[in-house]
Chains A and B, each alone.
Chain A
């Protein structure tokens, strides 16, 4: 039946592409979850809608979870003592941020603000803690995915640091990159 494009379109593709679980399966953290685990993840997630220019969180707040952008744009920025803003990143649909706060309550390192009207999917620590007790297997997979992404970022960070160190040790020498 999959050969027939009409059936394919009507029954599977369209509906699936719009569903929340399909969207979640495209996020790198949840890439390895099965369909059933994605359905469970859907129950853990809070859908939050933000207006344009509404703050998601401010730097220094105690975070309690991560956000995935379903639609819209989110601006990540830091603020110095005088209140001047410096944009660090502009995130699009499919990106996620604030994942450090998911496993430990740490202060947010930067602020996040909705650049346009935005729909965010929030995944919070209290739900994850509850889920580890009730459904350990899928939760372990979610946390594994998170760990993978964090490890990748740490690796990138290390490489950048090394590059910077090398550059600072030999300031006269022009960089090859």
Chain B
């Protein structure tokens, strides 16, 4: 420090110390923040699915509870009544039909999945060879190996995950009714509390927009779930007419994948088609199954009957957003994320559209902002 500037050695030392401390504390804050988010992530890891399912259950049960409330019954009592009816129905069904044979089903799946996958591999390799004859430049790609690896991981996952997922299923059985009970009972109060925080001059607008958005959202979610259930039931009924195995499981897959527009139904019918090809071969039954999946479930029931009735045009997403939502959802939460990515994107879409709609229809001359701005 031999420059002629007025900084003495002590001052340099102080500056040096301060800078070091600043950097150190910055790093400390940053690292503690990342550990904090990591902690938060670990703490909430298993909660995502139960909360999501509980919200869906709450949305589905709300109209029923409103019906009961009509008779002047307190909401809590109404919720308990609905819970009682549902659990009674499940118990009666279990007694009448008997509990499903989970063990047998899983054993059979363990044996059958490799068979189906190896068939698919043989079939796809054949296709690839055919393609290679016409387009020699794709010779490098070993599709068979890729698929074999994939199937091995899948089988391994089924073997390892079954007991674990049984435990998770048990916890869901406890958590989902509990969460949905509180959502049903207190969501109104919680939302009122949150809305009450808005400043006076935006309060009316926020209240109105919230009412619109929540109405749109509940119709949308209810519509999507009912649509998935009906499509699943139709697929089940159609498949039950044939000799195909795992009809209930395939119906569940078809129903759940139906939540994803455009792409979902295609992936939903792949397992069914594969099983039909392997077990039944190409024959009248195979064509019937194909017909059930595409023509009856998708074209007639879904596109011609359910979507016009249940889903409003408002919630239509552009196909590009659908694909983006699937990819991003998959990156975040795996297969679950792929399925729920699109509904969540639609929910965000509905919120944005409603706010824009509100501002356009309710403020035709943009008076809201100008008049308030002028007077205050």
CB < 8 Å: which of A63, A122, A129, A136 contacts B70?
A136
* In the complex with contacts A61-B367, A62-B362, A133-B66, A48-B203 CB distance below 8 A: yes
CB < 8 Å: which of A46, A105, A111 contacts B375?
A111
Minimal Cβ-Cβ distance residue in A for B196 = A46
A interface bracket (residues with beta carbon within 8 Å of B): 20 to 34
With an 8 A cutoff between CB atoms, is B9 at the interface? no
How many A-B residue pairs lie within 8 Å, measured between CB atoms? 61
A34 to chain B, nearest CB (A): 12
* Contact status B211-A63, CB under 8 Å: no
Which of chain B's residues have a CB closer than 8 A to the CB of A56?
Answer: 200
Which label, helix, strand, loop or mixed, suits the secondary structure of the B interface? helix
* Contact status B70-A126, CB under 8 Å: no
B230 to chain A, nearest CB (A): 25
* Contact status A105-B211, CB under 8 Å: no
CA distance A129 to B207 in the complex (A): 13
B211 to chain A, nearest CB (A): 3
B141 to chain A, nearest CB (A): 58
* Contact status A126-B208, CB under 8 Å: yes
Contact with A along B190-209 (1 / 0, CB 8 A): 00100010001101110110
Minimal Cβ-Cβ distance residue in B for A136 = B70
* Contact status A57-B376, CB under 8 Å: no
- Contacts of B338-376 to chain A: CB distance below 8 A: 362-363, 367-368, 371-372, 374-376
CB < 8 Å: which of B70, B72, B201, B368 contacts A62?
B368
* Contact status B207-A55, CB under 8 Å: no
Which of chain B's residues have a CB closer than 8 A to the CB of A105?
Answer: 208, 362
CA distance A61 to B173 in the complex (A): 49
Minimal Cβ-Cβ distance residue in B for A111 = B375
CA distance A136 to B71 in the complex (A): 9
B368 to chain A, nearest CB (A): 6
CB < 8 Å: which of A61, A65, A125 contacts B368?
A61
* Contact status B368-A46, CB under 8 Å: no
* Contact status B375-A55, CB under 8 Å: yes
With an 8 A cutoff between CB atoms, is A158 at the interface? no
Contacts A60-B371, A64-B207 given; 8 further ones with Cβ under 8 A? A58-B372, A64-B204, A64-B205, A65-B204, A65-B207, A125-B208, A134-B70, A136-B70
Task: Give 29 A-B contacts (CB < 8 Å), ordered by A residue.
Answer: A46-B192, A46-B203, A48-B203, A55-B200, A55-B201, A55-B376, A56-B200, A60-B367, A60-B371, A61-B204, A61-B367, A61-B371, A61-B372, A62-B368, A63-B204, A64-B205, A64-B208, A65-B204, A105-B362, A122-B203, A124-B207, A125-B208, A126-B207, A126-B208, A126-B210, A133-B66, A134-B66, A134-B69, A137-B72
By a beta-carbon cutoff of 8 Å, the part of chain A in contact with chain B is 46, 48, 50, 54-65, 83, 105, 107, 111, 122, 124-126, 129-130, 133-137
Top 7 closest A-B pairs, CB basis?
A126-B211, A62-B362, A64-B204, A60-B367, A58-B371, A64-B208, A134-B69
